[in-house]
Amino acid sequence: MTRIERLGPGDEEKVAAAEGLFDGPAKPDAAHHFLNDPGHHLLIAYSDGEPAGFVSGVEMTHPDKGTEMFLYELGVGEAHRRKGVATALVEALKDLARERGNYGMWVLCDEDNEAAVKTYRRAGGSDSTPILFDWQFES
């Protein structure tokens, strides 16, 4: 049984408990900042009380468009993959975006990431061919 919880201010310990799902260890200051920004969203899926997966979203607003949800990152622990956890997380973020009055939601992913492509299509997403430009800054 999978349960999805929306984290918020004061849930830094829950972020730390789920850090094995992230690309690296959670940074306490960054987790605090993320959880305390009302436009940042972190949803954790739990299976038998243990973190099984997460999705993060960031609301982006532009004066002539309104607010949309950017699906920032999605991750599922290896033992919980191919069980519908990722799709449930994307659906939960879609529901949150609708509740908050967002006009849409979007994500970028690599074509060769078959699991992500299947998940996003299963959750009703349609694909297009964007070009991504990025800038890396030294920290």
HSE, CB side, 13 Å, CA atoms: give it for residue 8: 4
Would residue 81 count as lying in a domain? yes
Would residue 133 count as lying in a domain? no
Q: Measure the CA–CA gap between 46 and 85, rounded to whole angstroms.
A: 9
Q: How many domains does the chain have?
A: 1
Would residue 134 count as lying in a domain? no
Tens of pLDDT, residue by residue over 73-118, are 999 999 999 999 999 999 999 999 999 999 999 998 888 888 888 9
Which CATH number characterizes residue 63's domain?
Answer: 3.40.630.30
Over the range 3-41, which residues count as b (16 or more CB within 10 Å of their CB) and which as e? ebeebeeebbebbeebeebeeeebeeeebeebbeeeebb
pTM of the model: 0.89
State the residue range of the domain holding 117: 2-122
Would residue 136 count as lying in a domain? no
